[in-house]
Amino acid sequence: MTERNWQQTWLHKATEKARKAKPYHLFENLIANILVLLISFIVVIALFKLGEDVINLLVNKAFDPLKHETFQTVFGGIMTLLIAMEFKHSILVVAKRQQNIIQVKTVILVSLLALARKFIILDIQAIEAAKIAALALALIALGAVYWLMRERDAWNMEHGRQEEG
């Protein structure tokens, strides 16, 4: 298939899909694609900023991964990027129409990543024990819900049922 034929085929399929889609689905798809572009842009900027921070730490000979502040800066940035990319992926799945709504499991996974990031950047000396306990309890609860949903999905797959969310 030539490049021109491929473009015509792709354009024809996209046009047919748009013609059959309901107006709200077109609107939803447009918004999802704009969000994906914006989040991608933010991820690229955050990646460059993280690289700049690491280079500055290396140049200033202050890069000591065993120092808590350095660890917080570098891994906090990495976790932020992972959270943004997972969030972007969940929106991309909706935009590609593989799913109609963002899956609850994905939201829980992003929440788990955000809590893990919070624990990484947490200054233990500056926070009360009750707040740490509350964050830990939230992490355990979300982890349990995620595990239960994964188990349910595995059971549904074994028994030939559709996933529900």
The pLDDT of residue 33 is: 86
pLDDT in tens, 127-141: 899 999 999 999 999
What mean pLDDT is predicted for residues 104-123?
A: 87
The pLDDT of residue 160 is: 80
On the question of pLDDT at 90 being above 90, the answer is no
C-alpha distances in Å from residue 90, one per residue of 50, 68, 85, 155: 23, 32, 9, 23
On the question of pLDDT at 31 being above 70, the answer is yes
Q: What percent of the chain has pLDDT over 70?
A: 80
The pLDDT of residue 133 is: 93
Q: Where are the domains of the chain?
A: 3-158
On the question of pLDDT at 53 being above 60, the answer is yes
C-alpha distances in Å from residue 7, one per residue of 2, 10, 13, 39, 49: 9, 5, 10, 27, 37
